[in-house]
Structure 1
């Protein structure tokens, strides 16, 4: 038995309301269960109920056992002075407030909806499963699932909004700088995301804007701050980058002591940080005022045009500075742009609308619904269970579902779990 299940039972009145009595045989009639509190303090605020003929207004605290009141030291906490009812699974101790007045106790174990209890026990069985509801999820109506996935996608955007707000504060409300840092992080992909973000954070964005017309300067800035220009390499282009970076370092008093080391190991050559840094430099060399363009975009084709860039000419025959390779144009692929849309463009557009105080209805779903579902182990497993992911909105929502609900056993806060409990 879990305490959050008792929260569910109380919140949705999964009890026989006709025969509720306290442990002292007082009749209980619920007017309002109160507001569910997910923070510190009593579990439900502002409940209203009759105990015998007396109407009470106050808070409700829920525990597995009555004695948990003392285990959690509520008798010493003034925040619990206004508890009017103690709801428990098992009554094993009389409970008193700080002033020694007795708190009425409602025991649930013999008064619970039996079907709800059976569904709960089935959902949280000890059988080893990937997710708790994997044997029953196919029976949940598509309408419920689709609406829940939309809600989960918004939850994911809300979380990313907080990250954008932090970047915006650090950038002194410069949205162009925020976009650059977000793009840099995602150009690094999963392996080098922290390293690329640390590079972007290692210099003022105004420096990038000043040197933007000169590609050599941009590449020198990125490679130099990434500590890729410290070796003694006999290569003409490498030497030019070294000289340019030394000039920039002195002119702008650059430091890079906080930059995270780059990783090359187990990466495909096309994803080497050298290639991605060059592509990022080319992008900013070709595109000025990038944020003002991206924030207005409505179709993926527009973004494919904006991000239609390749690494500079040197990288057509190199993946690293010290070794030549077969000719290959290092073009940004559409699949890579799709990742940028998912992880940068959509969160940025959402955050910009929210930051301006505009209604969320102004946020467009168009971009994310134009992109095919991501392919990963989590999405593949949900597909096997019957939750077929067709768009990137679906796959992002499924990632949110797995990491924030299924992995944390938050079935009682999940629309799918609630549906199965009520079936």
Structure 2
């Protein structure tokens, strides 16, 4: 079935025969400007200009595959659509379309005015079964155009992540230190345990932990206890000490009813170095730093600084244990370089961009981009897909863009919202 994306494409670029244009109601039509694509709720194009008969109209344009979709979507009852000056459709099923005040909306049917070869190229592109629909034709796209799309999606990715940080800032009452702490905690969950890490950070506020940052043991007691990971029937000596300390601190700070259920933590298919116990021990060590978390995040644009910062050595117990009560025959490795790079990408950079937007300081956004360009490319299934089709992925800037393009365009087959797909369709 034809998608509305195709209608957006042919209207935006005016890829249809414009001679003798008439509306379904029989009036002459001349397009001065098609308008601008609206990415938000409401009509599909804004600020369009056209003549219907002898009258010039300025307003919005709505597109549907079938004329009756206007009725199905109940636009006739939505005041947001009262400014629609043209309804473009592919199939003009008989229907009189009206605004909420009862006035008739002109309709333009495009199915008889579009080159069938263009439609065929569009259908062929969408019919591709590969992970990247245009993989076989990427060589036809100029490298500069491909790079422009990578730049665009990279900025979209950074802005989306920054929006999540700003939402968190609202939830913390505009407290940047608490926001930084909760945001960092979720990043330490490395996707699999991001949600329980986030819950934990909300249960134990930073202001409590800061009172005990001179004692790594007390930080561990607060974090492991609230995480619901203390309480084995036969604890070893260290866990027993943590349990006693946690009971005292939980009573002091009224945390007894805030424990997470142990089942929220995921262990399956994780390497031992990624176990939540190991990550919590590393996180506790980070919180012993006396500097403000936010000031540390804003301090430097040198990636090596951040990699050293995240590669902490936890307490002695967690240098020989992956879980409570089970000593490892080998020393537990510190957080690896790849994991540290992941934290830099997913914790530091979104916060820099969010802070840039909040304070209107573009230098922090530029610093985030600079850090991405310094870091090596991520090596995962998605980046390997792009490399297999001869798209170079040389830095974290490239790999983050490649991930965003794949997840939000290729997988969803949004080829007509992608500069690469549009370029191929034009050809």
- Calculate the TM-score normalised by the size of structure 2: 0.91
For residues 89 and 406 of structure 2, the distance between their equivalents in structure 1, rounded to whole angstroms, comes to: 30
Cα distance, 1:301 vs structure 2:
1.3
Within 5 Å, which residues of 2 pair with 1:184-199?
184-199=185-200
- 2:110 corresponds in structure 1 to 108
Which of 257, 266, 271 in structure 1 is aligned with 2:269?
266
Which of 268, 293, 297 in structure 2 is aligned with 1:294?
297
For residues 406 and 174 of structure 1, the distance between their equivalents in structure 2, rounded to whole angstroms, comes to: 38
Cα distance, 1:64 vs structure 2:
2.1
- 1:51 corresponds in structure 2 to 52
Q: 3-state DSSP class of the match of 1:31?
A: strand
- 2:386 corresponds in structure 1 to 382
Alignment deviations for residues 82-110 of structure 1 (CA, whole Å, 9 cap, x no partner): 44333222333152425665543322122
Are 2:294 and 1:313 equivalent residues in the alignment? no
For residues 22 and 39 of structure 2, the distance between their equivalents in structure 1, rounded to whole angstroms, comes to: 27
Structure 1 spans left out of the alignment, 5+ residues:
none
- 1:340 corresponds in structure 2 to 343
For residues 59 and 307 of structure 2, the distance between their equivalents in structure 1, rounded to whole angstroms, comes to: 58
Cα distance, 1:75 vs structure 2:
4.2
Q: 1:184 to 1:27 in 2, by over 3 A?
A: same
Q: 3-state DSSP class of the match of 1:212?
A: coil
- 1:37 corresponds in structure 2 to 38
- 1:158 corresponds in structure 2 to 159
Are 2:395 and 1:391 equivalent residues in the alignment? yes
For the 8 Å contact 1:144–1:416, the answer to whether it is kept is yes
- 1:247 corresponds in structure 2 to 248
Cα distance, 1:178 vs structure 2:
2.0
**The 10-residue stretch of structure 1 (68-77 or 134-143) with the greater mean CA deviation from structure 2:** 68-77
Cα distance, 1:148 vs structure 2:
1.3
Alignment deviations for residues 266-320 of structure 1 (CA, whole Å, 9 cap, x no partner): 2212222222111111122245323212212111111133234112111222222
For the 8 Å contact 1:311–1:329, the answer to whether it is kept is no
For residues 73 and 280 of structure 1, the distance between their equivalents in structure 2, rounded to whole angstroms, comes to: 51
- 1:231 corresponds in structure 2 to 232
Cα distance, 1:177 vs structure 2:
2.1
Cα distance, 1:9 vs structure 2:
0.9
For the 8 Å contact 2:322–2:332, the answer to whether it is kept is no
Within 5 Å, which residues of 2 pair with 1:195-210?
195-210=196-211
**The 10-residue stretch of structure 1 (379-388 or 68-77) with the greater mean CA deviation from structure 2:** 68-77
For residues 224 and 211 of structure 1, the distance between their equivalents in structure 2, rounded to whole angstroms, comes to: 15
Q: 3-state DSSP class of the match of 2:193?
A: helix
Cα distance, 1:362 vs structure 2:
5.1
Q: 3-state DSSP class of the match of 2:308?
A: helix
For residues 340 and 231 of structure 2, the distance between their equivalents in structure 1, rounded to whole angstroms, comes to: 31
**The 10-residue stretch of structure 1 (362-371 or 412-421) with the greater mean CA deviation from structure 2:** 362-371
Cα RMSD between the aligned structures? 2.3
Structure 1: 4+ residue segments shifted above 6 A: none
For the 8 Å contact 2:185–2:197, the answer to whether it is kept is yes
Cα distance, 1:410 vs structure 2:
1.6
Q: 1:313 to 1:128 in 2, by over 3 A?
A: same
Alignment deviations for residues 86-143 of structure 1 (CA, whole Å, 9 cap, x no partner): 3222333152425665543322122124553333222223x53323222212321111
Structure 2 spans left out of the alignment, 5+ residues:
none
- 1:358 corresponds in structure 2 to 361
Q: 1:74 to 1:241 in 2, by over 3 A?
A: closer
Q: How many positions carry a matched residue from both structures?
A: 422
Cα distance, 1:259 vs structure 2:
5.6
Are 2:351 and 1:322 equivalent residues in the alignment? no
Cα distance, 1:360 vs structure 2:
6.5
Q: 3-state DSSP class of the match of 1:306?
A: helix
Q: 3-state DSSP class of the match of 1:93?
A: coil
For residues 239 and 42 of structure 2, the distance between their equivalents in structure 1, rounded to whole angstroms, comes to: 62
Alignment deviations for residues 206-228 of structure 1 (CA, whole Å, 9 cap, x no partner): 01100000111011111111112
For the 8 Å contact 1:276–1:311, the answer to whether it is kept is no
For the 8 Å contact 2:68–2:93, the answer to whether it is kept is yes
For the 8 Å contact 1:315–1:330, the answer to whether it is kept is no
Alignment deviations for residues 323-367 of structure 1 (CA, whole Å, 9 cap, x no partner): 222140532222211011110011111111111122378522221
Q: 1:301 to 1:57 in 2, by over 3 A?
A: closer
For residues 188 and 248 of structure 2, the distance between their equivalents in structure 1, rounded to whole angstroms, comes to: 26
For residues 160 and 288 of structure 1, the distance between their equivalents in structure 2, rounded to whole angstroms, comes to: 25
Q: 1:295 to 1:74 in 2, by over 3 A?
A: closer
